[in-house]
Chains A and B, each alone.
Chain A
Amino acid sequence: MNVFQWIMLPVLVIVTIAELTCFARDRRRVRLLRTAIWIAAVVLIADPDSATSLAQTVGIGRGTDFVFYVFMLVTPAVLFHLYSQQFRMRQDIVLLARQEALRTAVPGTGLPQLSVELPGRGDSFETPIASDDSSKNSGERRE
C-alpha cells in the first residue's frame, strides 16, 4: 500500500460506517446511494487494477482515464441539476415576494381604492386606501 492508500482508505471506511449508522437510524435511501459511492471509492483506491479492468472492458486503456471520463460526465450533470434546483428555488422566493407585493399595493396621493384581481388565479382582493395609517404600515414593513 502507498501513502495515499494509507491516508484515504481509513477515512473512507469511517465515512462508510458513519453513513450506514445514519441509515440504520433514519432509513433514508439516499444514504445507501452515498454508501455505494464510498464503497466504490474504497475498491478503486485499494485495488487500482480494478479501475483498469473496468476501463479495458469499455475500450479505454487506463483506469485513471476511465475515472476521469466518468467525472467529466457526472460533474456537468450535477452542476446543471444544482443550478436548476437553485433557479427553481429562486423562482419560488420571487413568486412569494411578488404575491406579497401585490397583496400590499398602496395607492399614492389622490388615487381611489380599487379591487385587484390577479391574472390567471381568479382571486381578487381589496387594496388599502392611501392614508396616514397605510403609509405608516409600509414604513414599518421596511424596518
Chain B
Amino acid sequence: MRTAIEHLSDGHSRSEQPADSPAVWLVIAAYNESQRLRDTLEMVCDGRWNVVVVDDGSPDDTSDVAGRFPVWVVRHPINCGQGAALKTGVDFALGHGAEVIVTFDGDGQHDAREIPQLIQPVLEQKADIALGSRFLGRTVRMPWTRWLTLKAGIVFTRLVSGIRVSDVHNGFRALSRQAARTIEIRQPRMAHASEILDEIVRHRLRYVEVPVTITYHEETLLKGQSSLAALRITGQLLLGRFSR
C-alpha cells in the first residue's frame, strides 16, 4: 500500500489523488511580488498542492497575477504585514479542511521540489511542525551580512525563547492542522517568525528541522529586509511580549 507522501512526491494531480490523500495547502504571502510571484506560482501550481495566495494590500498587480493561476486569492484591503498575511492564509486553508499547511515565500527564495521532504515528518505524524533550515541545507548567493544577522538571531532566540534551532527566520515550514490551530500569531509584521518559535515552546509542540535550499536573488535582496531590520524585529518581539 502506498503512503500519502508517495502520492504527493510523484506528481499526481489533485484529481488523480485518492480521496484519502491528505489536503496539503500552500500559503503564499505576497506584497508587491507580481513578477517573482508569477515564477513562484509556475513552480508550485503542478496540481499536487492547494494554494492560497494572500496579497497583503499590494499596490501593484500581485492579485491579478495570482488570479491567472489555479489558486485562491485573498487580498488584504491594507498592508498588514507578513505575519498577518500568513495568519489569513492559514485560516483560509483551515477553513478549507487543510491537514498540512506549508508556508512558502512568494519571492522565489524557496524550492517547491523540497515540499515533499518538508511535509513528510508532519504527514507521518513524527512532528507537529517541520521547520526548514538553510543551515542544515544550503544557500545560494547569501550575503555574509545576512549570514551574520541570522547567526546572531539564532543565539538571541536560544537565549530568549529557549529553543535550539539552526535557523530562526526561515519562512519555509510545514504545520499539521492541529499545530496551525494551536499557534497564535499575534505579531503582524516580521517578528511572527520568532513568535512561532515561542509558540512551539509554549505549547510543547513537536518539531523537526528539515534541510532546505534558500536562493537569494538580487531583486529580493534589494526589496527584502536589510540586516539592520533585525534590530527592529527584535524590538517588535520584545515590546510584543511586554504588551501581552
Contacts and interface: CB of A to CB of B under 8 A. Distances in A.
A113 to B, nearest CB: 11
Contact of B69 (A83, A97, A108, A127): A108
Given A102-B92, A118-B95, A111 B188 contact: no
A101 B92 CA distance: 10
Interface string A61-92: 00000000000000000001001100110110
A119 B94 contact: yes
A83 B54 CA distance: 28
Nearest to B79: A97
Contact of B84 (A98, A110, A117): A98
A101 B75 contact: yes
A87 B185 CA distance: 13
B72 interface: yes
A90 B240 CA distance: 12
B162 interface: no
Contacts of A91: 186, 188
A53 interface: no
B92 A110 contact: no
Interface of B: 52-54, 57, 63-64, 66-78, 80-81, 84, 87-88, 91-92, 94-96, 181, 186, 188, 239-240, 242-243
Given A84-B243, A114-B96, 18 more contacts: A94-B81, A97-B77, A98-B84, A101-B54, A101-B74, A101-B76, A101-B88, A102-B74, A105-B72, A105-B73, A105-B74, A108-B69, A108-B70, A111-B70, A116-B92, A127-B72, A130-B67, A138-B63
